[in-house]
Chain A
Amino acid sequence: KAGVTQTPRYLIKTRGQQVTLSCSPISGHRSVSWYQQTPGQGLQFLFEYFSETQRNKGNFPGRFSGRQFSNSRSEMNVSTLELGDSALYLCASFQDNTEAFFGQGTRLTVV
């Protein structure tokens, strides 16, 4: 069974640009969550999606958005990038009563 796949693995963007990250969950998993990991703030919850609907949202500005498609794949978008958005963005997928499985993450660097 393939794991959670995130693309791309690495990204370098300039301040003010926007970026889209992709997450393909484990086959059969309908729930996807996104997290931001930084050395200073640790792992912080961004959003959770289930069956194309946002079920929960973390405390991030509106520049951070996401969506989920009918095949459960999810994307997150960050607009007007700031230097502080540099982080490892992790996606996790799960089903009821299973653990959350994390992808390898996308390392975003904003310069």
Chain B
Amino acid sequence: GENVEQHPSTLSVQEGDSAVIKCTYSDSASNYFPWYKQELGKRPQLIIDIRSNVGEKKDQRIAVTLNKTAKHFSLHITETQPEDSAVYFCADGGRSQGNLIFGKGTKLSVKP
């Protein structure tokens, strides 16, 4: 079945540094890839998503890149801030957002 591998499982950076989280997926037919941020005790919230008709998408300090040939996508956070500390989940949405296959998550810690 579909599978999503996410690395690293933990990531610690200094405030102002960049953070990169990588995911690989197995279903070559998939074309929707969201990223969710979950703070402790809170619900997952979408921070950015990408569809397979584009290779990169940016939103201020956050960007996502997609390589369909290699079946991997990455989250890039620049100029990290302490409030970026959270668990980040990538997901393979197949063809829709209704059946998300999640990676195991990356715990990001940003040290002031």
- Residue numbers of A with Cβ under 8 A of B are 31, 33, 35, 42-45, 48, 50, 55-56, 58-59, 90, 92, 94, 98-105
Q: Which residues of A contact B43 (CB under 8 A)?
A: 90, 102-105
Q: Which residues of B contact A35 (CB under 8 A)?
A: 100, 102
Q: Which residues of A contact B101 (CB under 8 A)?
A: 45
Min CB–CB distance B51 → chain A (angstroms): 10
Contact between chains at A99 and B97 (CB < 8 Å):
yes
Q: Which residues of A contact B1 (CB under 8 A)?
A: 59
Contact between chains at B34 and A100 (CB < 8 Å):
yes
Min CB–CB distance A51 → chain B (angstroms): 12
Min CB–CB distance B67 → chain A (angstroms): 22
Min CB–CB distance B85 → chain A (angstroms): 18
Q: Which residues of B contact A104 (CB under 8 A)?
A: 42-43
Q: Which residues of B contact A50 (CB under 8 A)?
A: 98
A42-B104 contact, Cβ under 8 Å, with A99-B46, A100-B46:
yes
- Residue numbers of B with Cβ under 8 A of A are 1, 34, 36, 42-46, 49, 89, 97-105
Q: Which residues of A contact B46 (CB under 8 A)?
A: 99-101
Contact between chains at A31 and B98 (CB < 8 Å):
yes
A45-B101, A90-B43 known; 13 other A-B pairs, CB under 8 Å?
A42-B89, A42-B102, A42-B104, A42-B105, A43-B89, A43-B100, A43-B105, A45-B99, A48-B99, A99-B49, A100-B97, A100-B98, A102-B43
In angstroms, Cα B43 to Cα A35, docked, is 12
Q: Which residues of A contact B102 (CB under 8 A)?
A: 35, 42-45
A55-B98 contact, Cβ under 8 Å, with A102-B43, A104-B43:
yes
The closest CB in chain A to the CB of B6 belongs to: A42
Q: Which residues of B contact A90 (CB under 8 A)?
A: 43-44
Q: Which residues of A contact B34 (CB under 8 A)?
A: 99-100
Q: Which residues of A contact B103 (CB under 8 A)?
A: 42
Min CB–CB distance B40 → chain A (angstroms): 12
Q: Which residues of B contact A94 (CB under 8 A)?
A: 97-98
